[in-house]
Chain A
């Protein structure tokens, strides 16, 4: 069954800390998405990747196809990074299969 597992479920950090959120998936994905969901509910797409690594500002996403694992890193975390971070996989169709999300709180 095509599933997406995320860890941890909840994460608290002090401002400035390096954050890592993990995602594992089943074999055969065509792309892995990282998304951010704000407290109001809106979803923002952060990255789509199928291999290697992508960077945008303080956010870095990596994927290891052999290990079926992806990570989202946040460097120099800030309270405004507080949100739910979700990984979602695209398998052999266009639909996304979502993980349960990681709730991140960064304290000043």
Chain B
């Protein structure tokens, strides 16, 4: 069964550094998402992306965050200048094969640790 893959599985970065989290969504999906989960808290929506543009973003997704689909297969989340509070598990998801939005399929997540 096709799956969403995320790399790296764990990223450790110094505060203030830029970090890029990478995702390869399911190949025929059209809708892409990033969510995050701070340790011990519930999963929170960050951003959705469709037709090469952001369709919705949350209050968390400020100017330090950006997303890109550079080559038709990868979907990346960039944090420009990381803060301690960015430490969390980041999940990529994809959905929608063109007939319906459908269920979202999640990757295994990238655990981001900011020191």
Contacts and interface: CB of A to CB of B under 8 A. Distances in A.
B43 A86 contact: yes
A94 B42 contact: no
Contact of B102 (A35, A48, A97): A48
Interface string B74-103: 000000000000000101000100000111
A96 B104 contact: yes
Interface in B27-84: 31, 33, 35, 37, 42-45, 48, 50, 55-56, 58
A95 interface: yes
Interface in A16-59: 33, 35, 40-45, 47-48
A96 B95 CA distance: 12
The size class of the interface chain B forms with chain A is: 20 to 34
Main secondary structure of the interface of A (DSSP, over half): strand
Nearest to B45: A95
Contact-residue bracket for chain A = 20 to 34
B55 A99 contact: no
B48 A95 contact: yes
Given A33-B104, A42-B106, A44-B106, A95 B91 contact: no
A40 B108 contact: yes
A94 B44 contact: no
Given A94-B31, A100-B42, A101-B42, A45 B106 contact: yes
Contact of A45 (B37, B55, B104): B104
18 contacts: A35-B106, A41-B37, A41-B109, A42-B109, A43-B106, A45-B104, A93-B56, A94-B95, A95-B33, A95-B45, A95-B48, A95-B56, A96-B35, A96-B43, A96-B45, A96-B104, A98-B43, A98-B44
Interface of B: 31, 33, 35, 37, 42-45, 48, 50, 55-56, 58, 89, 91, 95, 101-109, 111
Interface of A: 33, 35, 40-45, 47-48, 86, 88, 90, 93-101
